[in-house]
Amino acid sequence: MTDVTTPETGSLEARPTRASRPPARPGSRSTAPGSRPRRRRSAESRRRVVALTMLAPALAGLVIFFAYPLVASIFYSFTRYNQLQEPEFVGLLNYRFLFTQDPQIWPAVLNTLWFVVILVPVRIVCGLLVAGLLSRAKTATGFWRTLFYLPALVPPVASVVAFVFLFNPGTGPVNQILRLFGIDGPLWFNDPAWSKPSLVIMGVWVMGDIMIIFLASLLDVPRDLYEAASLDGANGVQQVRHITLPTIAPVIGFAAVTGVIAALQYFTEAAVASGVASGKATIGGGTAAQLGYPGTSLLTYTELLYQHGFANFQFGYASAMAVVLFVITAVVLVLTMRRISVFRPEES
C-alpha cells in the first residue's frame, strides 16, 4: 500500500500497489495456464495445414504416376498377363526366365552398360571443354552460346533421322567428304562396330543441355581465386585442377548422376536408329532382324522391355524387367551419390 495525496481533498489516501493488487480471476486471459503454448500449437497446426495444402498436388502426382505404377509393376511381375485374360500368378518364373533363359537379355544389358561407360563421360568432358571455351569468349558470346545450345532443342527422333542420313555409307555427306581425301568411310549405322560410336557422336552434338549448366557454374567461379593463384605462380592447368574443378564439382556430380540414369533408360535414339538404318522406321513390333539392327549392336534394355510389353503383349515379363531396371538404377544412384563428395553430409 502507498499513501497518495488527492487533489480534491488534499488528504492522504491509501492505494494498492501492483504487488498488493488482488490476483486475477481464475480462467482470465492473462493468467490462463497453457494459453501461450496453446496459441503456439494452433499456429503451427495452421502452418502444417497450409504446407500440406500446397504440397497436395505434388503428392497426388507422386502417388498416381510413381507409387501406383511401381506397386502395379511389382505385382504383375509375378504373373502371366497379356491384358486379354486375368493375371495368372506364376511366382518367380518371369525372373528365372529373365536371368537364365532369355537369349536377348545379355546383349541388351552389355549395350546399355556400354552407353553408361562411354556416352556419359564423353558428354561430360566435351560439355566441360566447350563451356570452358565459351566462358572465356570476349565477342559474340550470345551467338556462340545459342549455336551450341540449339541442337539440344531438336527432338531426338529428328536428330537420329538426320544423322542416319548424314552417315549413310553410300550417299551420306560425311562419307562423300572423306572420299575427297581418299578415305573410305565406315558403314556407320549399318556396321555393328560403328553403330554405337555413331550414336555417341550424335550425343556429343546434342550436349547443349549439359554445356549450358557447366557454363553457368564456370561463370559463377570467383575471379579473385584465379588472380590470387596467378600471383602465386600457378599456371592454367594448375588453376583448372585446384580451383575450377573443385568449385564446380557439385555440378559435375549432378551431371554424372542424371547422365547415368538417362543412359540406363536409353531407348529412343537406339530404337529409331535401328528402324531407319534397317529401312523399317518403326519402334517395336519389328522383325527379329530389325530389333537392335545391325545385329544386336543397338539393342538396349529398355528397347527389349518395350518389345516384350507392347509388341508381344507379355506384360508380366515386361514388368519383371522394369522392376529389375528400377532396382539397378536405385543401386547405381546410391553408389554414385556416395562416391561424389557433394552428396555427402557436411562434416561439422
pLDDT in tens, 113-166: 999 999 999 999 999 999 999 998 888 888 999 999 999 999 999 999 999 999
Residue 70 pLDDT grade (very low, low, confident, very high; cuts 50, 70, 90): very high
24 neighbors 30 (Cβ within 8 angstroms): yes
pTM of the model: 0.80
At residue 227, does pLDDT exceed 60? yes
pLDDT of residue 304: 95
Q: How far is CA 47 from CA 35, 40, 53, 54, 55, in A?
A: 19, 11, 10, 11, 12
Structural domain boundaries of the chain? 104-343
Q: Which of 12-16, 41-45, 102-106 has the lowest mean pLDDT?
A: 12-16
The average pLDDT across 73-97 equals 94
The average pLDDT across 42-71 equals 89
Q: How far is CA 111 from CA 51, 155, 240, 288, in A?
A: 45, 23, 34, 17
At residue 8, does pLDDT exceed 60? no
Query: What is the pLDDT of the chain when averaged over all its residues?
Result: 85
At residue 19, does pLDDT exceed 60? no
CATH code, residues 104-343: 1.10.3720.10
At residue 2, does pLDDT exceed 80? no
Rounded Cα–Cα distance for residues 182 and 178 (Å): 7
Q: Which of 88-97, 99-108, 279-288, 321-330 has the lowest mean pLDDT?
A: 279-288
At residue 186, does pLDDT exceed 90? yes
pLDDT of residue 34: 54
pLDDT of residue 348: 38
Rounded Cα–Cα distance for residues 89 and 80 (Å): 6
pLDDT of residue 24: 52
Q: How far is CA 71 from CA 63, 284, 305, in A?
A: 10, 25, 18
Residue % of the chain over a pLDDT of 70: 84
Q: Which of 42-46, 47-51, 156-160, 251-255 has the lowest mean pLDDT?
A: 42-46
pLDDT of residue 80: 95
Q: What is the pLDDT of residues 265-324, one digit of tens each?
A: 999 999 999 989 888 765 555 555 578 889 999 999 999 999 999 999 999 999 999 999
Q: Which of 17-31, 123-137, 226-240 has the lowest mean pLDDT?
A: 17-31
**Three-state secondary structure of the chain:** CEEEECCCCCCEEEECCCCCCCCCCCCCCCCCCCHHHHHHHHHHHHHHHHHHHHHHHHHHHHHHHHHHHHHHHHHHCCEECCCCCCCEECCCHHHHHHHHCCCCHHHHHHHHHHHHHHHHHHHHHHHHHHHHHHHCCCCCHHHHHHHHHHHHHCCHHHHHHHHHHHCCCCCCHHHHHHHHCCCCCCCHHHCCCCHHHHHHHHHHHCCHHHHHHHHHHHHCCCHHHHHHHHHCCCCHHHHHHHHHHHHCHHHHHHHHHHHHHHHHCCCHHHHHHHHHHCCCCCCCCCCCCCCCCCCCCCCCHHHHHHHHHHHCCCHHHHHHHHHHHHHHHHHHHHHHHHHCHHHCCCCC
- What is the separation of C-alpha 99 from the centre of its chain, rounded to a whole number of angstroms? 28
29 neighbors 35 (Cβ within 8 angstroms): yes
Q: Which of 19-33, 72-86, 232-246 has the lowest mean pLDDT?
A: 19-33
